[in-house]
Structure 1
């Protein structure tokens, strides 16, 4: 994949986040430092999991958009829950890293009810982009300012970004995050989410080369 070791545009260093609480969190993946933040601009409460010394160069970082249906209920419609699990495993295996879990990103930023309405339209034949647009939403309404501000506050110098999404990479670069590598997070597709994944690849430019072998 194309990577960057520089910063795109001007860094945004004026923090809109307040670090509220730090607490050790033992999980099935490992023991993390959980840090709670308040986004002063939106009022959203945000949380990150830090493993090891993330301040060093090249920390493995996953910026994960909340997905109630996938992360909590194990929906087969998307790969979000599997990506969350894989990201936590990868961070622990690497020995250090950060997972930023972003509230307010449900349904690529259109909210839970909007997402459920979009899923209903997809069941009726629209793809995920068409469904969002039909409801009057952008194809992707997410903003990554708060993720960048949290990473700056943590003192993360540069990241190896766990993501297939070029727009996420570009957004973090615009907010002054130095990205040394973009690391794909490829999850074996299911029959239930193949159409969804193809749309992400063909219409949203996500890096999903493993779909070719499934198609063959």
Structure 2
């Protein structure tokens, strides 16, 4: 069982002044340094916290890559949790688990016409190497048994339910479309078609 290791107050978000608390853990299964970012609940009567399991994406979260929507999803989550309260589980699972260097190699293959899943397969990896047992341990360490899950990914939803975490409701993120020579429209469409992500195709098809 994971245990809370330390809590530190900080400010996060695009506006850089959203108060939050970062929590580290000991005893996680994979030994990676995942953290939880906790936002105070604005509505004290809301007993079921909003949760997002966000996989680290250096290129998207920090450098705002045009190839994905990870940074935009992260910012959207932070803004909503600033309003409603919630817990962001920031998971160190770069590139759907293949790591940063391999993800850069996958970018090269995507430039040659492969989609994200095909590129990972070509490099010898499965479609998605992520698993969320550490996220479950983190929630258990925080004594969270019931959640409102912020995701479009059915794999995350099923992972929590299979582990006995009750998902009261699912809150989807928006379809963040980027235009330009290297945009992310095909990336989003592939997530729907290949990964069964619960995104609105009508929204994605708009210019």
TM-score with structure 2 setting the length: 0.90
Q: Is the 8 A contact 1:29 1:92 kept in 2?
A: no
Q: Is residue 72 of structure 2 the alignment partner of residue 82 of structure 1?
A: yes
Find out whether 1:102 has 2:91 as its counterpart.
Answer: yes
Say whether residues 1:32 and 2:32 are aligned partners: no
8 Å CA contact 1:23–1:34 kept in 2: the answer is yes
Q: Which piece of structure 1 moves more, 33-42 or 68-77?
A: 33-42
Q: Which residue of 1 aligns with 2:58?
A: 68
Which runs of no fewer than 5 residues in structure 1 stay unpaired? 1-14
Q: Kindly report the root-mean-square deviation, in angstroms, between the aligned alpha carbons of the 2 structures.
A: 1.8
Highest relative contact order (Cα 8 Å, sep 6+), 1 or 2?
1
Rounded to whole Å, the distance in 2 between the matches of 1:214 and 1:172 is 27
**Structure 2 counterparts to residues 23-62 of structure 1, below 5 A:** 23-27=8-12, 28=16, 30-52=18-40, 57-62=47-52
Local SS of the residue matching 1:45: coil
- Residue 215 of structure 1 deviates from its aligned partner by 2.4
| Partner SS, residue 204 of structure 1 | coil
Partners of 2:161 and 2:192 lie apart in 1 by: 21
Superposed, which structure 2 residues align to 1:163-174 within 5 Å? 163-174=151-162
Cα separation, 2, equivalents of 1:119 and 1:73: 15
* Displacement of 1:19: 2.1
**5+ residue gaps, structure 2:** none
TM-score, structure 1 as length reference = 0.86
Q: Distance in 2 between matches of 1:29 and 1:118?
A: 35
- Give how far 1:184 is off: 0.5
User: Contact 1:106–1:112 at 8 Å: present in 2 too?
Assistant: yes
Q: Partners in 1 of 2:144 and 2:30 — Cα distance? A: 23
- Taking a change above 3 Å as real, the CA distance of residues 21 and 157 of structure 1, as seen in their structure-2 partners, is same
Partners of 1:19 and 1:35 within 8 A in 2: yes
1:94-151: per-residue Cα shift (whole Å, max 9, x none)?
1x21000001x11101111111111111110011111111111010110100011101
* 1:42 Cα offset (Å): 2.2
